[in-house]
């Protein structure tokens, strides 16, 4: 998709974080980065909605991180270090999941270099549990963990439609989630000129168009809605992003992988668009 394997000259670096060690229902997001890349050959580099072309921007794909998957703490550290190194040389980290827990070390690195960042989370779930399946480090607790160093007023949760009663109460207390629908214009205004990290849990999409994920939740948003939100952020001050939770084992028609690949294209083009 127009990416080069070398970092030299790149403003952004794609890398895979193929970890799914805490997934509770349907495993397999470890295969997400490979599936997204495999279908990318069949995808155009030009996006008519963005009116932009991947061949006109400079980004690298440095492959998948090699992760010691049997040791969760070591996995999280390896991801944090990889992002930290990219920040050190002025390259935007852009991660392909893997499960949502990978956003925790990515945000740690982002926060270290940008303590005034804001975080936009697209997700069907709030991920605000204190613990899950006997652990505080899980795809279902990731936002709770992040909220311990990024203050809730700097977090916006878009699209949640499933969770425990406690999670919804927490989100309302934190003020991270507004039940009313959010227009792209409102989203753009909320972000403003602040340093922006975007985490896309692809399960925000309706399972009709994105069945290939661990915890599909009917009643989700359409591809056009998600695309419009992301495109509205083109020209913002992006400092990092991730797209997580593609599980190709449940994607018998390959459509989820194609959607993932096109959302990644939209993210690359939006995060590298000229400031405005």
Nearer to its own copies, 40 or 150 (CB): 40
Which of 211, 235, 237, 273 contacts its own copies by CB under 8 A?
A: 211
Question: Of 255, 147, 257, which is closest to residue 209 (Cα–Cα)?
Answer: 255
Binding to its own copies by residue 203, rule CB under 8 A? Answer: no
Which stretch, 15-23, 108-116, 187-195, 230-238, contacts its own copies (CB under 8 A)?
15-23
Q: Kindly state the smallest distance separating residue 254's Cβ from its own copies, in Å.
A: 7
Does 105 contact its own copies by CB under 8 A?
no
Calpha distance 131→234 (Å, rounded): 35
Q: Interior CA angle at 112 toward 274 and 172, to 5°?
A: 85
Stretch of 102-110, 183-191, 213-221, 236-244 contacting its own copies, by CB under 8 A: 213-221
- For residues 118 and 196, the answer to whether their CB atoms sit within 8 Å is yes
Our finding on whether 180 is near its own copies (CB under 8 A) is no
Q: How far apart, in Å, are the Cα atoms of 133 and each of 82, 111, 139, 160, 247?
A: 28, 27, 10, 21, 20
Q: Is 161 in the site for its own copies (CB under 8 A)?
A: yes
Which token pair is 186? 């409102």
Residues 217-276 that bind its own copies (CB under 8 A): 217-219, 222-224, 227, 249-255, 258-259, 262
Nearer to its own copies, 219 or 275 (CB): 219
Q: Where would I find the H helices in 164-244?
A: 165-174, 184-191, 223-232
Q: Are 157 and 177 in contact (CB under 8 A)?
A: yes
Select from 63-71, 90-98, 196-204, 230-238 the region that touches its own copies (CB under 8 A): 63-71
Question: Looking at 69-77, 79-87, 109-117, 182-190, which segment touches its own copies (CB under 8 A)?
Answer: 69-77
Tell me the backbone φ, ψ of residue 249, rounded to 5 degrees.
-60, -20
Q: Are 203 and 123 in contact (CB under 8 A)?
A: yes
Site membership for its own copies, residue 104 (CB under 8 A)? no
Question: Using the rule CB under 8 A, is 90 a contact of its own copies?
Answer: no
Cis? peptide before 98, omega within 30° of 0: yes
Establish whether the linkage from the previous residue to 37 is cis, with ω within 30° of 0.
no
Chain positions contacting its own copies, by CB under 8 A: 20-22, 24-28, 30, 34, 38, 41-42, 44, 46, 48-49, 53, 68-71, 74, 132-135, 137-138, 160-165, 168, 206-209, 211-212, 215-219, 222-224, 227, 249-255, 258-259, 262
């Amino acid at each position: 998709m127009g990416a080069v394997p070398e970092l030299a000259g790149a403003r952004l670096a794609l890398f895979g974080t193929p970890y799914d060690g805490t997934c509770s229902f349907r495993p397999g997001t470890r295969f997400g980065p490979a599936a997204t890349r495999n279908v990318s050959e069949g995808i155009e580099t030009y996006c008519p909605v963005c009116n932009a072309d991947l061949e006109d921007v400079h980004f690298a794909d440095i492959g998948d991180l090699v992760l010691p998957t049997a040791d969760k703490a070591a996995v999280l550290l390896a991801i944090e270090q990889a992002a930290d190194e990219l920040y050190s040389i002025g390259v935007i980290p852009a991660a392909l999941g893997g499960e949502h827990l990978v956003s925790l070390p990515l945000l740690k690195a982002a926060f270290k270099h940008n303590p005034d960042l804001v975080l936009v989370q697209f997700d069907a779930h709030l991920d605000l549990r204190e613990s899950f399946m006997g652990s505080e480090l899980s795809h279902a607790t990731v936002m709770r963990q992040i909220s311990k160093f990024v203050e809730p007023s700097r977090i916006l949760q878009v699209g949640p439609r499933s969770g425990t009663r406690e999670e919804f109460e927490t989100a309302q207390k934190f003020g991270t989630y507004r039940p009313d629908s959010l227009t792209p214009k409102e989203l753009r205004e909320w972000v403003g000129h602040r340093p922006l990290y975007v985490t896309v849990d692809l399960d925000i999409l309706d399972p009709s168009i994105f069945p290939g994920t661990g915890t599909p939740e009917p009643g989700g948003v359409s591809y056009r809605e998600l695309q419009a939100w992301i495109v509205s952020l083109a020209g913002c001050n992006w400092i990092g992003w991730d797209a997580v939770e593609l599980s190709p084992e449940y994607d018998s028609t390959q459509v989820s992988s194609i959607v993932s690949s096109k959302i990644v294209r939209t993210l690359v083009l939006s995060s590298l668009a000229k400031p405005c």
